[in-house]
Amino acid sequence: MASLSKPPVKPARIRPVAVVLFLAGIAGFLVVPFFFETAAPPPPPQASVVGPKEIRPIQVRTPDGVTIGWLQIAYPESIRENEEQQVDVKYVGDKGKWGRIKDVGSMSVLIRAANLGLFPEPFEYRFNLPRIVQTGEDSHAWTVSPKQEGDYRLLVKFSVEPESFTALPVAVNGVDVSANGETSLPVRVNTRYDVPQSWIDVMKTLGYVFSFLLTLPLLKSFVERYWNRGQSGAADPRV
């Protein structure tokens, strides 16, 4: 009686659906980082729409205690990476007391902003006193353009001479004003998507995982095909 041989094992066929999913997975690996790097920035953040925060943290007083004006600062509380916004400093004279500024020797502001991309130099500005006498105000502006997400501080120091004049700090919510006339302004820098970078990293990782899962059906078909081929080659060839 002839011995029975094992029937040949048919190699597994690679299904077209598996090929499509595999290609989609590969495309996902390529598209996920490309999307986050080249996607067009969304519209400007809300802070840009409503305008900068405007505060008056410093009063200027004469030797006899009369308030003749204020230092006014307009700055962005929130800004995106690589976005440009202005920081404006302005001396605003009290109406009817502009002439008292003639007794002032000088008034100046010095601005510092580590990691906020401040420009242009110089970072110190001396107010134009004759202009203040005529119009009641004088101003200057810088631009900030931060490169990295985070919480930073914008420091503005106001000085007035002679020392008989006083730069008196005024309490402002959320703003620190020191006794020497330095104002510390908090600035929040967001990513261009207005979400933390950690969230973006998580979304990238999920995209990679999803792309990998799409390749599994084709990988399974490849494994089955070569496994079955090995099983077929090891079968007994005798009839």
What's 94's domain CATH number? Answer: 2.60.40.10
Region of poorest pLDDT, from 37-51, 96-110, 188-202:
37-51
CA dist list (Å): 237 to 1, 4, 9, 225: 16, 10, 12, 20
- Distance, CA of 183 to CA of 54 (rounded, Å): 13
Q: How far apart are CA 189 and CA 82, in angstroms?
A: 10
123: pLDDT strictly greater than 90: yes
C-alpha distances in Å from residue 173, one per residue of 19, 55, 57? 61, 10, 10
Q: What is the pLDDT of residue 101?
A: 84
Query: Taking the model in full, what pTM does it have?
Result: 0.65
Q: What is the pLDDT of residues 146-156, one digit of tens each?
A: 999 899 999 99
Q: Is residue 235 in a domain? A: no
Residue 11 makes CB contacts below 8 A (sequence gap 6+) with 225, 228, 229, 232
Q: Classify residue 162: in a domain, yes or no.
A: yes
Asked if residue 216 is part of any domain, the answer here is no
**Does residue 215 fall inside a structural domain?**
no
**Portion of the chain with pLDDT greater than 90, in percent:** 40
pLDDT for res 99: 79
CB 106 within 8 A of CB 126: yes
Asked if the structure places residue 56 within a domain, the reply is yes
pLDDT, residue 174, reads: 73
Residue range(s) defining the domain that contains residue 131: 46-190
Assess if residue 121 is contained within a domain.
yes
Give the integer Cα–Cα distance in Å for 83 and 143.
Answer: 10
Residue 178 burial (10 A CB sphere; 0-12, 13-18, 19+): exposed
DSSP assigned state of 95: T
213-238 b/e (C-beta count within 10 Å ≥ 16 → b)? ebbebbeebeeeeeeeeeeeeeeeee
Q: What is the mean pLDDT of residues 25-35?
A: 53
Task: Give the DSSP H/E element, type plus range, for residue 233.
Answer: helix 197-233
Written as six digits, the tokens of 128 are 């134009």
- Calpha distance 169→157 (Å, rounded): 11
**Domain assignment of residue 22, yes or no:** no
* Burial classification of residue 201, based on how many CB atoms lie within 10 Å of its CB (0-12 exposed, 13-18 middle, 19 or more buried): exposed
Note whether residue 76 is domain-resident: yes
Where are any strands of DSSP class E within the chain?
53-61, 67-75, 78-80, 85-93, 106-112, 124-126, 137-144, 150-161, 166-169, 176-177, 182-190
Q: How many domains does the chain have?
A: 1
Type of residue at 175: V
Q: pLDDT band at residue 20, thresholds of 50, 70 and 90?
A: low
* Three-state secondary-structure class, residue 109: strand
Strand duo 67-75 + 53-61: pairing: antiparallel
